[in-house]
């Protein structure tokens, strides 16, 4: 094998790791970029699609692979115009959110140590026809551009196209030769299957509305055990209460238990570690594995699976705050 071919294989294998290091290097400014910047037709590449809070049209919205449409364009005949015969739909493989280590410099920008980690939307694609391993008829040596649409769920730019680029024009150069789809199992035969585990689990987002500032929210929640299997019945399944990784200023205390009658109960306390914040900036998530659903019952999880039986809100002196409502949103079902 030629040395340049060996280098290309190593380069492709490290795509995701290096993309993450580059994309998350600055907490508050993440743009659109292909990695690598040059690839062969048929290769697997990855795309950074912007910070998950700044670039979402509605922060925290449900974005899935089906929302993305990705094409690659190349002026093959050299007439200066991209024609329909020079536009090719790209094979989509994965879409997931990535966040840096909360103790890393990427999550603690020296210019703003109290900034929270932005994260990045990352897509993994093959330069092949969708549903196939057939390489696209791209011409080596000619620049190309990737064009991404998202059903209006990703914004084009926050800081400006000069620093971030635009979703409609993500440049990539085409190298000689034909590549192949990466199977992500170089280190272990289990890695390929676990790539799909980067996708968000089914979840109910617990948030608040009302416009007031609060320092704490105290929630009592009942859950329907005829739908979700409690964690104690099947180890390693059940559900879990997760804090908001993008807001390190909120402390989450949680308890999942059963009362004396065996009814499923939760107690959730969200508390600002200093001062107050708008109620709609505090949130947490109840997530579950699909295997946790009690399939014999024939039921599905809805927001009504979780009933808020009591909700209290406080300011930083401990005084009650009224006018705040709980908002439950079902995502990735």
* Sequence-separated (6 or more) residues with CB below 8 Å from residue 202: 287, 288, 290, 301, 330, 331, 332, 333
Residues of CATH 2.60.40 domain(s) within the chain? 201-331
Q: How far is it, in rounded angstroms, from Cα 83 to Cα 77? A: 9
- Selection from 40, 36, 32 nearest residue 18 by Cα: 36
**pLDDT for the residue 28:** 44
* Sequence-separated (6 or more) residues with CB below 8 Å from residue 273: 249, 250, 251
194-221 confidence digits (pLDDT tens): 677 788 889 999 999 998 999 999 999 9
Class of residue 17 by CB neighbours under 10 A (exposed 0-12, middle 13-18, buried 19+):
exposed
In this structure, the strands spanning 216-223 and 306-314 are antiparallel
Helices (H) and strands (E) in the chain, counts: 4, 19
**pLDDT for the residue 247:** 84
In this structure, the strands spanning 170-178 and 38-41 are parallel
21-49 confidence digits (pLDDT tens): 444 434 444 567 777 788 899 999 999 88
**Coil vs helix vs strand at 313:** strand
- Selection from 219, 221, 239 nearest residue 229 by Cα: 239
pLDDT band at 182 (very low <50, low <70, confident <90, very high): confident
CA 290 distance to own-chain centroid: 18
Written as six digits, the tokens of 267 are 């107690």
pLDDT above 90: residue 163: no
**Coil vs helix vs strand at 276:** coil
What does 180-231 look like in DSSP terms, one character per residue? Answer: ----S-SS-TTHHHHGGGGSPPPEEEEEEESS-EESEEEEEEEE-TTTBPPT
Q: Is-contact 314 321, C-beta < 8 A?
A: yes
Residue positions counted in the chain: 333
224-274 confidence digits (pLDDT tens): 877 876 554 444 457 889 999 888 889 999 988 888 877 888 999 999 998
Name which residue leads in pLDDT, 186 or 119.
Answer: 119
Q: How far is it, in rounded angstroms, from Cα 115 to Cα 98? A: 16
Kindly indicate whether the domain formed by 201-331 is annotated with CATH number 3.40.50: no
């Amino acid at each position: 094998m030629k040395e340049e071919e060996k280098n290309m294989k190593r380069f492709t294998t490290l795509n995701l790791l290096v993309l993450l290091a580059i994309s998350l290097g600055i907490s508050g400014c993440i743009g659109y970029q292909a990695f690598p910047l040059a690839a062969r037709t048929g290769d697997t590449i990855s795309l950074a699609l912007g910070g998950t809070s700044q670039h979402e049209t509605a922060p925290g919205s449900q974005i899935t692979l089906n929302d993305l449409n990705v094409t690659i364009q190349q002026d093959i005949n050299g007439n200066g115009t991209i024609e329909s015969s020079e536009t090719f739909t790209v094979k989509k493989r994965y879409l997931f959110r990535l966040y840096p280590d909360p103790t890393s410099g990427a999550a603690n920008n020296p210019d703003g140590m109290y900034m929270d980690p932005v994260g990045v939307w990352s897509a993994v694609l093959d330069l092949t026809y969708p549903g196939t391993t057939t390489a696209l008829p791209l011409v080596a040596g000619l620049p190309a551009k990737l064009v991404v649409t998202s059903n209006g769920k990703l914004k084009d730019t926050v800081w400006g196209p000069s620093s971030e680029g635009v979703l409609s024009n993500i440049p990539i150069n085409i190298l000689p030769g034909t590549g192949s789809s990466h199977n992500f199992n170089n280190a272990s035969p289990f890695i390929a299957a676990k790539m799909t585990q980067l996708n968000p689990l089914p979840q109910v987002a617990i948030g608040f509305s009302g416009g007031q500032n609060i320092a704490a929210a105290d929630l009592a929640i009942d859950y329907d055990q005829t739908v979700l299997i409690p964690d104690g019945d099947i180890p390693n399944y059940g559900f879990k209460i997760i804090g908001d990784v993008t807001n390190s200023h909120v402390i989450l205390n949680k308890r999942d238990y059963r009362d004396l009658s065996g009814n499923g109960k939760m107690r959730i306390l969200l508390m600002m570690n200093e001062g107050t914040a708008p109620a709609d900036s505090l949130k947490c998530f109840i997530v579950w594995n699909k295997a946790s659903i009690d399939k014999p019952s024939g039921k599905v999880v809805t927001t009504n699976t979780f009933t808020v039986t009591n909700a209290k809100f406080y300011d930083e002196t401990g005084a009650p705050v009224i006018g705040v409502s709980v908002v439950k949103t079902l995502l990735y079902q």
